[in-house]
Structure 1
Amino acid sequence: MFIMHQHALVVRLRTNIDHVDHIENFSRPDGAREGSIAYAAWKYTSSSTDSSPIDEERVSWLALAWDRQVQVAKLVKSKMIRHKDWKLDSAAVGVAWLNDQMLAVLNLKGQLCLFSKDGSELRRTIFILDGFVFDDSILYHTHFSNRFGNPERHFNNSVAVRGATVYILGPSFLTVSRLLPWKERIEALKMAGDWMGALDMAMKLYDGHTQGVVDLPRTVDSIRGAIMPYLVELLLSYIGYVFEYISIALSNHTGKGGATDGLIDADRSLLTQREEQYARVGGVAVEFCVHIGRNDILFDTVFSKFVAAQSGGIFLEVLEPYILKDMLGSLPPEIMQALVEHYSGKGWLQRVEQCILHMDISSLDFNQVVRLCREHGLYGALIYLFNQGLNDFRTPLEELLSVIQNATRKDATSTWSTECLFI
C-alpha cells in the first residue's frame, strides 16, 4: 500500500513476476484537511464457509484514518469492497485493529477511541498521563512536508496492538492501555458498588451483546456456556452481600446481634424497610434467573437463602407478579405448596387462585395442585385444572354439586338445631 497526500493506493505484487496489480485507489475524502496523510491498518482474517479448511475465504480488512475521516474496506479475492465511512470529532493520529470487529483510533485530543468496524463508538479514554501534555505522550516526526512546503507532524508507527492491549510510544516512555476482559469489567462494577450495573452487563453478555469484548466466543450458545457459571456466582454474591448488609443494619439498631423480636413494636418503620430490601433482592433474583433460564437456582439456592433469613414468605410474595405476567409458568411442588399455604395463612386465597390460572398445567405436579385446591376450596382453579389439563368437564362439576349439597345439609342441620333450641 502506498500513501500520498491526495491518494492511498492498494496494489498487489506478484511473486517472482515483474508485475503489479492495481487493486484500489482511495482519494482523500471531502472535508479532510489539505496536507494531511492517512494512517492505515490492516487485519487479516479467514471466514470458513464449510467444515473443511480448504473452503476458508481469506479476508483482509483495511482501516484508513484521514484527518477526521475513517474509511473501512475489505479485500476479498483481489477485490476491494468499501464497507463503512464515518467522521471523527478530532483529527486522527493513529489507527490499529484490535480484532476483525474493532479498531482503536487515537486523536489530537489525546483520546483513545474504540470503534466497531461499522462505526459505532464503543469506548473512549484519555491516553495522556497526569502531569503530561500531548507532545509528551506520543512520538512524531516532521520528515514530510505538505504541498505548501511546511513540515507536517506525522505519528506513523507510534501505535501498536497485541491482543487487547494498545501500546503508544512516547518520546521518553511507553503508554500501555488494556481493554479489560468481560469478567474484570463486571468485577470492577462490583468493587465500585454498582451491583445493578454488573448484573445488567452480565445479562447483556448472555444475550450476545458483546461489542467491545474480545475474550468471548462468537456464537451466542458458546458465550452462554462460557459465562453461565460466573453468572450464577455473581447473583449469589449479590444476594449474600445485601443480606449481610441488612443483618448488620438490624444488629446495629437492636444491639442484640440482629434479633428482631422487639423490633416490630419498637420500630415498625425499620421492619418495613427490611422487608422492602428483601423484596427488592427477590425481584432482582427472579428477573435475573428467568432471563438466563436458571429457575432451578431460583427455587433451590435462592429460596433457601431467603428461608434461612426468615424471609421465605417475602420471596413467595415476590413471585406473584411474575406469575401473573406469565414470566413464571411453573413452580416446583415444594414451592407450590409453600405458596398456597403462605397465601392461605394470609387470607389471600383468591390471589393464589389467580396464580394457578396463569400456570402451565403440563409442568405442574397435577395431583399435588388438585389436592391443594380441594383442601383450600379453590374451585375456580380446580375447574381450570381439570378442563385444561384433562379436558374433563364432568369431574369438577360433580365435585361442585357435592360441595353444594354438603353445604345445604349443614345449613339445614344448623337451622333445625336452632328451631329445637327455640322451642
Structure 2
Amino acid sequence: MKPAFLVVFLKEFKETLRDRRALVLLSLFTLMYPLMLGYMLNQQIGRATRSEREGMQLAVVNAAQAPNLMAQLKQKNITVVPMGEMKEDAIAELLRARKVVALLRLDPAFGEHYQAMRPAGIELWFDSASDNGQRQRDIEEVLHSYSSNISSARLLAHGVSPATMAPVRLQRFDTGSTAARSAGLIGAILGFLFFPAFICGLSAAVDSTAGERERRSLEVLMAQPASPWSLITGKWLAAGSLAVIGITLELALAHAVLSWLPLEEIGMSWRVTSAQLALVCVATIPLSLFAAGLHIALAMNAKSFKEAQSMLSLVILLPMLPGVAVSVLDLKTATWMYVVPMLSNQTLLRELAKGQDLGALPFVLTFLSSMLPALGAVAFASWRMKSERYVLSV
C-alpha cells in the first residue's frame, strides 16, 4: 500500500500537469532567462567583432593635407571617405545617418603648420549616442600613434633621442583569468537563473491550499485517513517537483548557451563543466523545496486565492535582496554567503564560473541553507492544517 503522502503527491502532480496555465508559466520561466542571457551576450560579441567583419568608414575633410595619416588609417582597415568642406549641421546630419563611424576635419592650413613644426589642428567628430564607441577608440589610437611617430622623427632630426620624452616605461600585466572576468561581467545575470525556483511551483502551491479551501475540496481531503503532515508533504513535494524540473532545465539550457557562444571574442570564457553543473543542480533542489514550502505556509494563512497570489507576488522578491545587496556593496565572497538561501546558490555558481576549486563544504552549506528552512515551513504548514478554523475558513 502506498504511503498517504505519496498518494497526495501523485494526485496533486497529475492535476498540475493538466493545468495549461501552470505549464505555460513553467515553460516561460525555464526558457526566458537563458535565452535572454544568450541574446545579450551575442549582441555584445557582435558589437565587439563588427569592426573586424565589416571594417569601418571614416569621413575626412581636407584629406589631401595629410597623405601619411590617410595611409596609416588604411593600414588599420579603416576606409577613408574624402569629403568636401562641411558645416557643423551637415556633419551632425551625416553622423546621425550612421553612414560613417566618425569624421575627421583637418585644418586647411594643416600642411603649412606641419612643415613649420607647429601644432596642426585635427577635429574628430562623432556621435556618442551611437554604438560605435570601440571603433571610435580605434581611430583615436591611430591618431595618437601618428602624432607619436611625428614627435619621434622631429626629435631625431634635432639629434635628440625620443627616449628622453619617456623617462618611465610602463608595462602592464593582467593576472586576471578570462573565467574570472566572465564571472564579474555576467555574475549579476547568473543570479537571475535561480529566481524561477520561486515561480515555477507558485501556481501549484497556491491552488492546492488557498484554492482548494476556497472551492471547499479541502474539507473532503481532510476527511480521508491521512494525517495533516502527509497531506502537506504531498502538496509540498508536488509543487517542489515542478520547481526542481523548471530550474534544472533552465540551468542546463543556460550551460548549453554559454558553452556554445564564442565568448573568447570578448575576453570571456565559460569553464563550468557538466559534472559541476550537475552538482549545482543537486545543491539547488532544496532551494526549490524551500520556495514551495514557503508558498504553501503563506498561502494557507491567506483568506482567499487572490489574496494568496497578491501576497506571494511580493514575497518572492525577498530572496533576491541579499544578492542585490552583495552586488551593490561589492562584497568579497565569504563563507557566510553559503548559508543564506538563494545567495548561496548564486555565490556557488559564480565561484565555479571563476574556475575556483571549492571543495565539498560550499555544496553542503548551500544544500542545508535551504533544506532546513524548507522543513521548518512544512512543519508550520502541517501544524496550521490541524486547525479546524483554518480548514473551514471561519
Larger Rg: 1
**Structure 1 or 2: more strand by fraction:** 1
**Structure 1 or 2: more helix by fraction:** 2
- Quick one: higher RCO (CA 8 Å, sep 6+), 1 or 2? 2
Same structural fold, with TM-score higher than 0.5 when normalized by the shorter chain = no
Calculate the TM-score normalised by the size of structure 1: 0.20
